[in-house]
Amino acid sequence: MIVSTFAAILAILYIQLSFRVIKLRKAKRISLGDGGDASLQAAIRAHANFIEYVPFSLIMLFLLEYQGLSSHFCYILGSMLVAGRFCHSYALVDNIMKLRALGMILTFLTILISAVMLLVTQVF
């Protein structure tokens, strides 16, 4: 399954984002919350934002693949999601707004295209 590959890649990115939060918590000696530290706040938000969008996106991609969407479209959508989440995660931590915007655009496009494709397959 194609979506399984993208889920595995995104899981590795998620673990990396988790370790970034853990590393900052240890370095700053902040076990709960963000202690008002801007770098920890950014890492926590990058981690949280990832988990807010990725599961839903993967479910939609899985449904498209399950319904028989051509493999090249599945690869394109999965690649857009991975690229979007990668860009957004690192841009948020490093405060690179253009890269952050690109990441969200790619993520939203993945969700929107998937939603439209799912609806079209139901209607036709």
Answer positive or negative: Cα dihedral of 81, 83, 88, 90.
positive
Domain that holds residue 98: 2-123
Q: For the segment 65-92, what is each residue's pLDDT rounded down to a tens digit? A: 999 999 999 999 999 999 999 999 989 8
Tally of structural domains, the chain: 1
Q: Write the burial class of residue 117 (CB in 10 Å: 0-12 exposed, 13-18 middle, 19+ buried).
A: middle
Query: What percentage of the chain reaches a pLDDT higher than 90?
Result: 89
pTM reported for the whole predicted model? 0.91
* Nearest in space to 117 (alpha carbons), one of 60, 75, 72: 60
Domain CATH number, residue 44: 1.20.120.550
